[in-house]
Structure 1
């Protein structure tokens, strides 16, 4: 299917601003065309060269220009790189493809230049290219005014334009996808609140069920579990709405309190403390401006998502990748008797290097992190009454129930039996 640039969500005004700046910086003509060769938009007050205006005023030359652009745009999209060509009139132009989600939807056409100083051979070619134009001397005069650009400069300009345009397209798509995701989550929040209103949700007025879900959310934050975070936070906010009976002041207070707890959990998960505090300052400023319950809830979801996104913004990309792989390996294998050697072998790095990464970036040892994951998973299993403490101990990778009890108490402050009794 031949998708057109007109059918996309590209921010036309933003792209126009970039094209205008590009034209001013290079002195070159630029316009956007679709894959049919039709002009879509160009910066205001930007005129084609005198040569091109004259050509387009002659007979069917306008249609020939359109056909040149159509072929060039399709070729540029086919190879996904700038396509250089001589138009039907004989001057140099290039098409930079606009790629949206892997599909070419049009091109940015630039040029209207020569790559050499006009000579007799050029004029002879020019006459052959434009044999149907009677006023050749006028055409020749206008050709003499065309800018001469070296091959190296043309390539550099085309490559720069390609990088800039397609970066902007990807950025635009990312922004739109984030907006769509935000709108979708806001709809889910509204639906959750409506469902709670209709369900006559009457439980005890204490916050025990809310706090249990809060602890679960914080556990998912520490483990970087995005899927469960989204689902849990939605359910948690529904509980908060019911418990607060829709009181905005109470919801604002609990929202700020929850954001603070989330920030601490994010730091436990590896987020830099300075970044966390700065983000919380920004959050507190924003939440003070909000006067809508749905917006309160979206703000708390948004900061939780931002915390997760920034947990691995730690510096060296190779280190980030290794840490992500190490964490994923541990989360997928915590029930097995894994050790630091197993994680290092999986990543094909030394134990000492892996230890340094965890110490430097997560401020804990590899074994500390494995234990943290096991305890968090044990907490999740506590609600399953059919499982004994011994069963849970075995499921989360502890061979000894007594050692599991000791570790659990160290992290949760009470032993597993006392903790489970508090749940029911």
Structure 2
């Protein structure tokens, strides 16, 4: 979340999406001035009723702002009618200084379609006959909700937004605590630098350790090392805050590039780097910078961890499928890494983390499993079995086979052929 945002947009969007999916009603997230931030389903921006009737869009905006003020007055929820007589209900989203946004549900009908056309469109709004056909076609998109259900739905929205408000408030408090902790660590490190008599040289060893922590997705260690580097930057800049911000940005770009090597989504990491340049320009003091840095590190770690988890599952599945289909061919770790668009070193590490085996060990295991079926064909020489299973050397095949099964290929064949003969022979009387 940006420093100038006072509520969690992501949580608000998730809340609106879930409510819309569950109820089939349109949900709109908008700020306290009526600007639409997100919409799911048939909401106000999708609705063309006002435009088709010749009414100004501003009328709808003002009605929704009024609805939010009434929701505040009546304890967090309010059911009301729009300029066209369609129904809405709303719950405000709390920011750091009161209601900063709202989730609005609607429009929808609470009366039968024909009654609405006769009473609202014709009698109350005096809609000309020539405009009625277009309005009736638009009304086919407007959902109907029975009156006795509307109040329950309004309560559900109120409870959902209430949860969102509590989570956002808790997150803000936690970020404030994290910010204080970060500032304390940076200040302590600056004091340490002041007390030492050694010359102020850039701590490349700390930077290297930081990048390794990012690669491991070790958030606490990465944050600690990052604080030390920020402390050095602030100390070495001698009070030049703008210069410190430039050095901070350079460091963040370096982290983002290393995060890409560690498996982060390249497009997402580049987008974050661009966003950080924009955000840094708006920061004017160390307090706001520390608060912002808390979110930066959390975002980096979340993006790396979440993206790589999803990507790892796909990579491992694709790799296993390929090995089972091509085990008899010459397959190397480098070739497999290239097929899944990863560096050999990173692919090797991911593969072992997910399967518990190194790539070569897993490939040998697959080949041995397939060789068991091939061995039961008595007409094949051991050299041919090894070749068909993907082994170029018969002696190496025998060695690997014994390692996985505890016996040699020929003993395995003999034992299983004997078992097969015993099963096929008639029982002795």
TM-score (normalizing by structure 1) = 0.42
- Relative contact order higher in (CA < 8 Å, ≥ 6 apart): 2
